A and B are shown apart, each in its own frame.
Chain A
Amino acid sequence: MKKEDEINFQKNEQFTLTMMPGNFAKKLRTCIIWQAIRFAIINIKMLIVVSKSH
């Protein structure tokens, strides 16, 4: 993990006991190709929940 991703751990006592995404995890969040795949998967999952709820 790059050092700049770790800075927030020390900004507040509350932050030290949680988890923090690294650079790769954060990049994936806005990576168009990966998110296009996730878009399809999330939609399928949501449609299953919607269909089970009606």
Chain B
Amino acid sequence: MARLVVLGGGVAGHTTATFAAKWLGSAHEVVVVTPNSKWNWIPSNIWVGVGQMTKEEVTFDLAPVYKKAGITYHQAKAVSINPEGKDESDKPFVTIEYTDDKTGQIETIEYDYLVNATGPKLNFDATPGLGDGNGQMGDHTVSVCTADHAVHASHELHKCIEAMKAGTRQKFLIGTGHGMCTCQGAAFEYIFNIEHELNKAGVRDMADMKWISNESFLGDFGMGGLHMKVGGYVVSSKLFAESLYAERDIQWLIGAHVNKIEKGKLDYELLDGSTGEEEFDFAMLIPPFAGVGLKAYDKAGEDITSKVFAPNGFMKVDANYNAGAYENWKASDWPRTYQNPDYKNMFAAGIAFAPPHIISKPMSSPNGTPINPTPPRTGMPSGIIGKAVAHSVCDMITKGKNTKLHEASMAEMGAACVASAGKGVFSGTAAAMTVYPVVPDFDKYPGTGRDTEYTFGEIGLAGHWIKHILHFMFIHKAKLNPGWTLIPE
């Protein structure tokens, strides 16, 4: 009997574990280690953050689902990996620390195969004032990164709405809280959902709204933007993003690295080297992501963290980490199998794998401050990668270690994304987009880097319906309810 240990129970980890358990059956063991007791459909946190959904609607308990799937579940966080074993034993193992009623208790779990799908550490402390100094979110801003954060954000938003109803003007500042953030899409959704809610509450004219982000142009989204065919033209997402912001009367500040946050104000540096200050009554700023801080040790107990993980804390996989300057970047730099190059029984999926480089053009201010979005690896790509990794591990277990691995390069897969711009069965809108491929391939598509036949976007009520249906579909799938395998990632 082989044992697969999956670290993390988010989109990538949950997909890997559930498919592996289904394909391997009871002949082998699948173990999930995740510090959370609940699964969270993160895209719907946006609606929790404006009070249009409850935390209970976007989360469910993991334990009964894993019990149904025959998966061994530990509510714990992974602390370290010993891929060579230790002392007399060659058996690799992970060290975990429980976060449930056994909080603080340390345990080791041996494995035959390991999938690192821990997701990111929300690195609030990268910006003074964005964090509390202890790794948690600070007091000056809100977040929608977790369901609990979104509940708090909704509470603060409604305080602002009450203040506006009482006649006090409010300034809203939404975007990214550091020059190296990703997930601009979540902030994009949140600012338009707030605008929609303020309209519904009849207080829009009492609100000043501003977008602040590390993108060098609106509509970059960490993917270097996208081009789509509209009205016979091939046009940049920049034009459509600017149009939407102008239509909704939302100003923007781009190419911005937020370097300090205090109560009601923040300091920033722009790509041109200038600095400034913005005041706010309500700010939702996405933190930068980092690896969760896993350590790695060899058989002798020597620290090999830098061998297994990139400096940002994400696990090294089969990517080309020596691509050099931007001019030399290729689509083929991106990983295909997500197998660790040194330890063939270790994989990383979803946000946990170290990308070879960013997707957007790298930029920095004259002061040397890097200000560019880091690559998105969430949602559909995470799910597809998780499933491919599950396939590979299952084949290695059942067919032998040298079997051909399954591939899921982000430079060869597309992504469908639906960004809400306001919730309502008949009044809601969302931008429905697809990109193909996620990572542009300028050798294959010399003009835009992508196939414009399969890269498109439009805003409307249909997009909102799709996002709402996806909410129910993916929770249904994650709960392993009947027909779950038929729903694509």
Q: Contact residues of A with B, CB < 8 Å?
A: 8-9, 11-12, 14-15, 17-21, 28-32, 34-36, 38-39, 42-43, 45-46, 48-50, 52-54
Of the listed stretches B57-65, B409-417, B478-486, chain A binds B409-417
A18 touches B461 (CB 8 A): no
- Residues 241-255 of B at the A interface (beta carbon under 8 Å): 242-243, 245-247, 249, 251-252
Q: Which residues in A have their C-beta under 8 angstroms from that of B416?
A: 46, 49-50
Q: Mark B407-448, 1 if CB is under 8 A from A, else 0.
A: 000001111100000000011010010101000000000000
The residues of A that contact B380 with a CB separation of less than 8 Å are 50, 53
Chain B nearest CB from A14 CB (Å) reads 6
Main SS class of interface, A: helix
Given the complex of chains A and B, what is the CA–CA distance between A12 and B249 in angstroms? 8
Contact of A35 among B245, B387, B462 (CB under 8 A): B462
Residues of chain A lying within 8 A (CB to CB) of residue B387: 54
The reply to whether the CB of B309 lies closer than 8 angstroms to some CB of chain A is: no
In the complex the two chains form, what is the Cα distance from A48 to B246 in whole Å? 32
Residue of A nearest to B410 (CB): A53
With a cutoff of 8 Å between Cβ atoms, the chain B residues found around residue A45 in the complex are: 434, 454, 456
Count: A-B pairs, CB below 8 Å: 91
Are A18 and B242 in contact, CB atoms less than 8 angstroms apart?
yes
Evaluate contact between A49 and B243: CB separation under 8 angstroms.
Answer: no
The reply on B384 being an interface residue by CB < 8 A is yes
User: When the two chains form the complex, which single residue of B454, B458, B460 contacts A49, counting CB atoms closer than 8 Å?
Assistant: B454
Assembled-state Cα–Cα distance A54/B391 (Å): 12
Contacts of B459 in A (CB 8 A): 29
Task: Compute how far the CA of A37 lies from the CA of B466 in the bound complex, rounded to whole angstroms.
Answer: 13
Whether a CB of chain A sits under 8 angstroms from the CB of B167 is no
For A49, the chain B residues whose CB sits under 8 A away are 414-416, 434, 436, 454
Hey, which chain A residues are within 8 Å of B313, CB to CB? none
Asked if B239 CB lies within 8 Å of chain A CBs, one says yes
B positions within 8 Å CB-CB of A: 239, 242-243, 245-247, 249, 251-252, 380, 384, 387, 412-416, 426-427, 429, 432, 434, 436, 454, 456, 458-463, 465-466, 488-489
Q: Provide the residues of chain B in CB contact with A12, threshold 8 Å.
A: 246, 249, 251
Contact between chains at B415 and A53 (CB < 8 Å):
yes
Among B245, B246, B458, residue most surrounded by chain A Cβ atoms (within 10 Å): B246
CB distance from A30 to the nearest CB of B (A): 5
Alpha-carbon gap, A49 to B413, bound state (A): 8
Does the CB pair B246–A14 fall under 8 Å? yes
A11 to B205, CA, bound (A): 13
CB contacts (< 8 Å) of B384 on chain A: these are 53-54
A21 and B243 within 8 A (CB): yes
CA distance A19 to B465 in the complex (A): 26
Q: How far is the CA of A1 from the CA of B456 in the complex (A)?
A: 26
Instruction: Kindly list chain A residues whose C-beta atoms are within 8 Å of the C-beta of B436.
Output: 49, 52-53
Which residue on chain B has the smallest CB distance to residue A29?
Answer: B460
Give chain A residues whose Cβ lies under 8 Å from the Cβ of B429: 29-30
Given A30-B429, A35-B462, A39-B466, the answer on whether A53 and B246 have CB atoms closer than 8 Å is: no
B residues less than 8 Å from A52 (CB atoms): 413-414, 436, 454
Set of chain B residues within 8 Å of A53, measured between Cβ atoms: 380, 384, 412-415, 436
Residues of B within 8 A of A32 (CB): 426, 461
Given contacts A19-B243, A53-B384, whether A14 and B252 have CB atoms under 8 Å apart is: yes
CB distance from A52 to the nearest CB of B (A): 6
Interface contact B488-A54, CB-CB below 8 Å: yes
| A8 lies within 8 A of B434 (CB) | no
Residue in chain A with minimal CB distance to B463: A42
A14 to B209, CA, bound (A): 14
CB neighbours of A8 from chain B (8 A): 246-247, 249
**Chain B contacts of A54 at CB under 8 A?**
384, 387, 488-489
CB distance from A2 to the nearest CB of B (A): 14
Rounded to whole Å, the gap between the CB of B351 and the closest CB of chain A is: 18
